[in-house]
Chain A
Amino acid sequence: MKHVDEYRDPAVAHALAAELRAAARGRWSIMEVCGGQTHTILKSGLTALLPEGVELIHGPGCPVCVTPVGLIDAAVELALRPGVTVASFGDMMRVPGTRRSLLEARAEGADARVVYSPLDALKLAQADAGREVVFFAVGFETTAPANAMAAWQAARLGLRNFSLLVAHVLAPPAVRAILEGGRSGVQAFLAPGHVCTVAGYEAWEELAREFRTPVVVTGFEPADLLEGTLMAVRQLEAGRAVVENQYARAVRRSGNAAALRVVAEVFEVCDREWRGLGVIAGSGLRLRAEYAGLDAERRFGLRADAREEAGECRAGDVLQGRLKPLACPAFGGRCTPEHPLGAPMVSSEGACAAYYRYGQ
């Protein structure tokens, strides 16, 4: 399969690994920001190919992991209301709220459905004018354009029974919070390729300058991650700190103009609570005033207030690279994918799920 096979080619991977071993002299900690990258690393066994001094630390880029508990509770509560359908990406269904997940709520009779695209949620609303359809709009910059498009179309169509429960987050402010927190020991970042495909990487240039930290925009296949790591190590060894683009086949510096336009038309930047991390300034998106009529929190009078996490889950430390999943006392015993204490154990992009699944 084109655009996949060439980046999974064992010969290419081994050649890059050899270059990496030759380039790395110091001890370096590099964070891959996106959970999709974490899964590739564990699934393809990349850690075994890295030189001893190079460590990859897993970052906060798991959209369902960072969606606040209060919003999940709000989604569950909505789905249990008669006449309301909550439509969500599949990943979101299993994430535990305070008491239950959307999937568990469905077993109790809630109408929670999996959609692959927000536009499919829109179709559900069009097909049944008597039902309120709420789309649970989660994700990073990557999912924002399609979600914005759903809001835009709903407004154009004058749909009265469609709304969005918005939990959008932005990647660079979270990385800034990690750098300002200063406890993770991360010396360079592999920036999330798909986020940058949409948003470009100017925001990452600011971070690289301000914190003198190398950033490499990196893809998701094994060869991408090895090459990204190699580029980061070369910068670290040379004492450079700039943004480089490994994922040039998809990413341009200024991002995707059409996608950014629809996002800016519908959403505006706001402060946002991250599950496990707390409130991060300027790290979220919310509907603009012109689209406030589509805001599910307003329409249904929800208060997605901050809620307590199940005591034992240390997702916050895992998401900031301070704790490896295997070092968590609950991992694999009291916390498993069937009985998760926290979101990183259930999401297909969660670091704990990756360790559990691939038995590392």
Chain B
Amino acid sequence: MAHGSGGRMMDRLIEEVFLPEFGGVAAHERHDGARLDGSLAFTTDSYVVRPLFFPGGSIGDLAVNGTVNDLAMCGARPRWLSAGFILEEGLPLETLRRVVGDMARAARAARVEIVTGDTKVVERGAADGMFITTAGVGMIEYGARVGPALIGPGDAVLLSGELGAHGVAVMSVREGLAFETEIVSDTAPLWAPVEAMLRAGVEIHCLRDLTRGGLASALNEIARTRGVEIEIEETQVRVPAAVRGACEFLGLDPMYVANEGRFCALVAAADAERALGILRQFDGQATLAGVVGAEGRGEVVVRGALGGRRVLDQLSGELLPRIC
């Protein structure tokens, strides 16, 4: 299971199993999506969330926004999506209708069209309710070129808003963990803030949405791919009070908790303040959270509130609540 949690074990799976066989564009870009012919971006993702509905969204919202955001993180305007459904025999039709309704709404909000699809029904027990795979095509605009290879020492690290709401919202309704909370998922399409920065001519070097494994995994992936140190100010990583409370209570570190509507942008130092101003038009909680340091071991370092520095390691294994 831990191979799918977005941490070190998944990296190993990609490096040892997929890349040697598939290679191609994926091998040198290592991004959420592939850039084809300079003007097209293409990506795919599968959604297996449990439960299917959670405060603030459903698997349908994630299936659209997740893929839309993978395209946005390539600097591409999301345009067309495909949707593949694997349904467990006996899934109530009403459940499917609700999910499909959520997908349609999310697609309208993100201004994408779902243009093709496929459905398979498998016998009871062979799937958990329903799985959705979406693929997306987007158009790279404003001459955007983004990817870890472009970042360099001195680049600013911006966060688009407060972290942790999605992961905690899902956990709050999971079997065996249920607790009452006002927290709702942050699931949202992210092209609009990205486009605003591109349109304003901000020199964006890299974009990454902070999904599975949270901020820690996203930054580690970038730092390691490029072989630079990234330093983050703990006080500039904002977490809503209710999420902090739940994380304290469950023994989780918000740096590792999943988001579905948050991203980090690594931009040229000279454009940092301007980029922050633009991001704040979309979310007042956006921050300038860190800086890219020297080339080196590819580590992420957190400067704590007390002044100490610690390594922000990748998630190892699944995120599990502690005992006491």
Query: What is the interface of chain A, defined by CB distance below 8 A to chain B?
Result: 1, 4, 8, 10, 13-14, 36, 42-46, 48-49, 63-64, 87, 89-94, 103, 106-107, 113-116, 120-121, 124, 138-140, 142-143, 194, 222, 336-338, 347-349, 356-360
Contact B176–A139 (Cβ < 8 Å): no
Contact A360–B310 (Cβ < 8 Å): yes
* Closest partner residue, chain A, to B253 (CB atom): A43
Contact B320–A94 (Cβ < 8 Å): yes
Q: Collect the chain B residues with CB atoms within 8 Å of residue A92's CB.
A: 323
Query: How many residue pairs between the two chains, A and B, have CB atoms under 8 Å in the bound complex?
Result: 111
Q: Is B296 an interface residue (CB 8 A)?
A: no
Contact B176–A120 (Cβ < 8 Å): yes
Contact A337–B317 (Cβ < 8 Å): yes
Contact B307–A46 (Cβ < 8 Å): no
Q: Is B304 an interface residue (CB 8 A)?
A: yes
Partner of B305 from A8, A93, A103 at Cβ < 8 Å: A8
Contact A115–B176 (Cβ < 8 Å): yes
Contact A36–B324 (Cβ < 8 Å): yes
Can you give 14 A-B contacts (C-beta < 8 A)? A36-B324, A46-B306, A49-B306, A90-B321, A91-B322, A94-B320, A103-B1, A115-B176, A116-B250, A139-B324, A143-B324, A336-B316, A338-B317, A359-B311
Q: Collect the chain A residues with CB atoms within 8 Å of residue B313's CB.
A: 356-359
Q: Collect the chain B residues with CB atoms within 8 Å of residue A359's CB.
A: 299, 310-311, 313
Q: Collect the chain B residues with CB atoms within 8 Å of residue A143's CB.
A: 323-324
CA of A43 to CA of B175, assembled, Å: 30
For window 215-246 of chain B, which residues contact chain A by CB distance below 8 Å? 241, 244-245
Q: Is B251 an interface residue (CB 8 A)?
A: yes
Contact B321–A89 (Cβ < 8 Å): yes
Contact B176–A93 (Cβ < 8 Å): no
Partner of A89 from B307, B308, B323 at Cβ < 8 Å: B323
Q: Collect the chain A residues with CB atoms within 8 Å of residue B105's CB.
A: none
Which DSSP category, helix, strand, loop or mixed, fits chain B's interface?
loop
Contact A42–B322 (Cβ < 8 Å): no
Q: Collect the chain A residues with CB atoms within 8 Å of residue B251's CB.
A: 91, 348
Partner of A358 from B311, B322, B324 at Cβ < 8 Å: B311
Contact A46–B322 (Cβ < 8 Å): no
Contact B250–A94 (Cβ < 8 Å): no
The 3 closest A-B CB pairs, nearest first, are A45-B308, A359-B311, A90-B320
CA of A139 to CA of B323, assembled, Å: 7
Q: Collect the chain A residues with CB atoms within 8 Å of residue B178's CB.
A: 120
CA of A186 to CA of B176, assembled, Å: 40
Q: Is B205 an interface residue (CB 8 A)?
A: no
Instruction: State the Cβ distance, A128 to closest chain B Cβ, in Å.
Output: 12
Q: Is B177 an interface residue (CB 8 A)?
A: yes
CA of A143 to CA of B251, assembled, Å: 14
CA of A33 to CA of B311, assembled, Å: 24
CA of A116 to CA of B323, assembled, Å: 8
Q: Collect the chain A residues with CB atoms within 8 Å of residue B299's CB.
A: 359
Instruction: State the Cβ distance, A307 to closest chain B Cβ, in Å.
Output: 22
Q: Collect the chain A residues with CB atoms within 8 Å of residue B318's CB.
A: 103
Contact A222–B176 (Cβ < 8 Å): no
Using A1-B248, A337-B317 as known contacts, list a sample of 12 further A-B pairs with CB atoms less than 8 Å apart, ordered by residue number in A: A45-B306, A45-B307, A49-B308, A90-B322, A91-B322, A94-B317, A94-B320, A116-B179, A140-B324, A142-B324, A194-B324, A347-B322
* Closest partner residue, chain B, to A336 (CB atom): B316
* Closest partner residue, chain A, to B303 (CB atom): A45
Q: Collect the chain A residues with CB atoms within 8 Å of residue B120's CB.
A: none
Q: Collect the chain A residues with CB atoms within 8 Å of residue B311's CB.
A: 357-359
With contact pairs A89-B322, A91-B322 given, residues A115 and B1 touching in the complex (Cβ less than 8 Å): no
Contact A114–B248 (Cβ < 8 Å): no
Q: Collect the chain A residues with CB atoms within 8 Å of residue B179's CB.
A: 116
CA of A113 to CA of B320, assembled, Å: 11
Contact B320–A116 (Cβ < 8 Å): no
Q: Collect the chain A residues with CB atoms within 8 Å of residue B245's CB.
A: 1
CA of A338 to CA of B310, assembled, Å: 20
Q: Collect the chain A residues with CB atoms within 8 Å of residue B307's CB.
A: 10, 45, 48
Partner of B1 from A14, A44, A48, A107 at Cβ < 8 Å: A107
* Closest partner residue, chain A, to B309 (CB atom): A45
Q: Collect the chain A residues with CB atoms within 8 Å of residue B250's CB.
A: 116
For window 95-146 of chain B, which residues contact chain A by CB distance below 8 Å? none
Among B1, B299, B317, max chain A CB count under 10 A is at B317
Q: Collect the chain A residues with CB atoms within 8 Å of residue B166's CB.
A: none
With contact pairs A4-B244, A44-B304 given, residues A64 and B323 touching in the complex (Cβ less than 8 Å): yes
Contact A93–B320 (Cβ < 8 Å): yes
Q: Collect the chain B residues with CB atoms within 8 Å of residue A124's CB.
A: 176
Q: Is B35 an interface residue (CB 8 A)?
A: no
CA of A114 to CA of B171, assembled, Å: 12
